[in-house]
Amino acid sequence: MNAFSALPERKPFPGHVEEALGAFSRAAVVLAVLPCIAGCAASGNWAREPLPVSVSAANYSRLSYGELYARVHDPDNARPEVPAVQKAAEPLYYFLVPGEIYPNDVPLDTVYRELENALESRGYFNVVYQLRAGRMPPRIDYLLRVHYGVRLWLRPIVRTDKITWGNDGIVANRYMAFLQYDPMTDPRVGLSPEEIARLHAAFAHLAQGASGPGANTAQALAFGSEMDDRLSREFGQEGKVSRDFCLVVVEAFKFDDVRATNRKAPCIWATFIAVPVEEGMKFSNVLRAMLRTAQPYFGETTHGLQVYEVPPGRVLMGTPVELPTPLKASAPTGQKPP
């Protein structure tokens, strides 16, 4: 058995997290979440205005949990300088696998092709193109799991908990549990306007029920009013409720780790790219600009959310490269990819 026939099987990915979580269980943590991208709900013709592309990235193998958490949750960096693209010292070979796929208008193969073009500048090359050219890569360094599509979200940052090959969603498995009062909800997801409306109604109902015979009517009304005001304050302002995002999340796993430990294999790095959806926007309209903007951040860790205003227009990208034979020498024994 060779490396290419030893790819582990993956179970079907779980469904949308909002279908598995109750509004009450998610509200407890979300009430204290940081605001979403400033200005992400700007009005106007999105095709004629700068496109707000955000990037959040984490390299889990380089930092302690505390350092990584602090960096990822740093304040947003609006209009950051574009960092230099750091290329790997030697070619790294990867194989793409699908993760969670949300509604969109782009075939999986097209997403793969655009991602391949973006990763090429980092020295990452898809083994598929080498095999098609009749060249056997010396190894598979990484499996790259790709989640993409349009879905409700609040704050598009990477996960800072322990991601493994078996824990395969963009929200941790423990957040998937249907526990109505489970405090372990993911504040990145937030609440939709519909969920907020249901919470308003629920609090009003509680206040009304508590004002019956023998109840402290004033206290009940104060409770309902306080909770209603808090929801309005936290979620009633533009940019603070969950909204539709076009998103691409790339997670990298070392192939040898997955082959050796399967579901327990740790994620090495992850990159979360997002664009808030405006009226008339399709996933196909922004995919290329999203991946091109994220080029410098694959395999890196960002200080907060990097929010770029990408000028409108067509982003031109190259085609996948077939590496010449001299670059395909096997790595020395015991050498590990970065």
Q: What is the CA radius of gyration of the chain?
A: 22
The answer to whether residue 228 sits within a structural domain is no
For residue 298, what is the DSSP state? T
- Per-residue pLDDT at 246: 97
Please tell me what DSSP assigns to residue 225: H
Q: Which residue has the tokens 């073009």?
A: 117
pLDDT band at 169 (very low <50, low <70, confident <90, very high): confident
Three-state secondary structure call for residue 216: coil
Spatial contact of 277 and 40, defined as CB atoms under 8 Å apart: no
| 49, 94, 289 from 46: Cα distances, Å | 5, 35, 13
Name the pairing type of β-strands 269-276 and 243-254: antiparallel
302 versus 338: the higher-pLDDT residue is: 302
Question: Roughly how many angstroms between the first and final C-alpha of the chain, as a whole number?
Answer: 26
Amino acid identity at 52: P
Q: Give the pLDDT score at 162.
A: 87
200 within some domain: no
For residue 22, tell me if it sits in a domain. Answer: no
Cβ–Cβ < 8 Å for 241, 191? yes
Report the pLDDT value the prediction gives residue 38, as an integer from 0 to 100: 36
**Distance of alpha carbon 324 from alpha carbon 112, whole angstroms:** 22
Confidence check: pLDDT of 256 > 70: yes
Residue 42 — very low, low, confident or very high, per pLDDT cuts 50/70/90? very low
175-205 residue pLDDT tens: 554 444 344 467 788 776 676 677 667 666 6
Neighbours of 281 (CB within 10 A): 17
Q: How many domains does the chain have?
A: 1
**Percentage of the chain modeled with pLDDT above 90:** 43
Specify the pLDDT at position 171. Answer: 87
CA torsion through residues 61, 7, 164, 304, sign: positive
What pLDDT was estimated at residue 282? 93
For the cut 90, the answer to whether the pLDDT of residue 305 exceeds it is yes
Structure tokens at 62: 């380089």
Amino acid 87 reads: K
* pLDDT tens sequence across 120-142: 988 999 998 878 888 888 899 99
* C-beta separation of 101 from 148 below 8 A: yes
What's the pLDDT at 32? 32
Asked whether residue 19 is domain-assigned, the answer is no
Q: Residue 287 — pLDDT band, cuts 50, 70, 90? A: very high
- Select the more confidently predicted residue: 305 or 135: 305
Residue 150 has pLDDT above 70, yes or no: yes
8-state DSSP, 278: -
Whether 208 maps to a domain, the answer reads: no
Q: What does the longest C-alpha to C-alpha distance in the chain come to?
A: 86
Q: How far apart are CA 248 and CA 259, in angstroms?
A: 25
Question: What range defines the domain where residue 263 resides?
Answer: 50-191+242-313
**Residue 70 to residues 96, 143, 303, Cα–Cα distance (Å):** 30, 27, 8
pLDDT of residue 89: 80
CB-neighbour burial class of residue 84 (10 A; exposed 0-12, middle 13-18, buried 19+): exposed
Domain-embedded: residue 186: yes
Asked if the structure places residue 121 within a domain, the reply is yes
Residue 320's closest CA among 94, 90, 86, 83? 94
- Higher pLDDT: 267 or 327? It is 267
Smallest Cα–Cα separation from 219: which of 207, 230, 231, 205? 207
DSSP state of 157: -
Token pair for residue 9?
A: 């099987």
Q: Does residue 18 lie in a domain region?
A: no
pLDDT at 77 over 60: yes
3 state DSSP class of 246: strand
Give the rounded distance of the alpha carbon of 284 from its chain centre. Answer: 17
Region of 238 (left: φ > 0; alpha: ψ -120 to 50; beta: rest) is: beta
Which carries the bigger pLDDT value, residue 228 or residue 299?
Answer: 299
Summarize the confidence of residues 75-91 as an average pLDDT: 84
Residue 134 has a pLDDT of: 85
pLDDT of residue 286: 94
- What average pLDDT does this structure show over 152-166? 92
Most confident by average pLDDT, 25-29, 195-199, 323-327: 195-199
Mean pLDDT of the residues in the chain: 74
Q: Which two tokens stand for residue 329?
A: 């020498």
pTM of the model as a whole = 0.71
